[in-house]
Structure 1
């Protein structure tokens, strides 16, 4: 599970509990100007993941860590796809973040309202 918040001009994603171990990451800080958008999509879990490097994948249990597919780097931290939020990024190490949050609708709204209008 991840905790998503806004701190000034950055989106902060805090990986919680043992997921820090499985994902091999505890915190991501992304400038708001590098966020293209956020959506909630439980079906994302069915998408191909590519190869993990580093990370953990036990189908039906957890997908956590960095995955590479089609030249893109995607960060995952999902146990329950019903609570998955996809955060699309530009000009970042990751192309997208796929994280499980307690309230996907509220998280998407928080991100969408924080993104600077171009």
Structure 2
């Protein structure tokens, strides 16, 4: 399953090889400086906006790839109801949406390096 990780100065959505095929995209990487907010969500399916192009989707089962809406392009890897929503600026992506069993812990690990503290390794 996809997960968020901090690697140096970047936030990376780590995808398995089968997820890369389903997303029609390699693991997205964005500079941490582009992150404007990191929030947990208990309603990941409700966070989706627009239409899938390209990617894989089956309602309430899998949303994987690029979701586009008016002026926005989100990368999503959603399998569960809980997860993390990362809002970005000055990036190819508007948001990253990634399912997680422990979204609060993932948010904490992503926020830590942004405050100048050392990275805690994988965010999930």
Q: TM-score scaled to structure 1, two decimals?
A: 0.87
CA RMSD of aligned residues (A): 1.8
Deviation of the 1:101 alpha carbon: 2.9
Following TM superposition, the consecutive aligned residue runs of length 4 or more in structure 1 with deviations greater than 4 angstroms are none
Per the TM alignment, residue 112 of structure 1 is displaced from its structure 2 partner at its CA by: 1.3
Give the equivalent residue in structure 2 for 1:85. Answer: 84
Separation in structure 1 between the aligned mates of residue 47 and residue 10 of structure 2, nearest angstrom: 28
Residue number in structure 1 paired with 2:28 = 28
**Could you report, residue by residue, the CA deviation over 1:8-43 in whole angstroms, capped at 9, with x for unpaired residues?**
111122112522222122311111111112111122
* Residue deviations 1:43-94 (CA, integer Å, cap 9, x gap): 2312453121101111011011101112100111111122x11111010011
State the distance in 2 between where 1:46 and 1:102 align.
17
The within-5 A match list for 1:1-118 is 1-47=1-47, 49-82=49-82, 84-116=83-115
In terms of fraction of residues, the more strand-rich structure is: 1
Whole-Å Cα distance in 1 between the matches of residues 115 and 33 of structure 2? Answer: 6
Mind listing any 5+ residue stretches in structure 2 that lack a counterpart?
117-124
Structure 1 unaligned spans of 5+: none
Change (3 A) 1:37 1:106: same
Q: Secondary structure at the match of 2:43?
A: helix
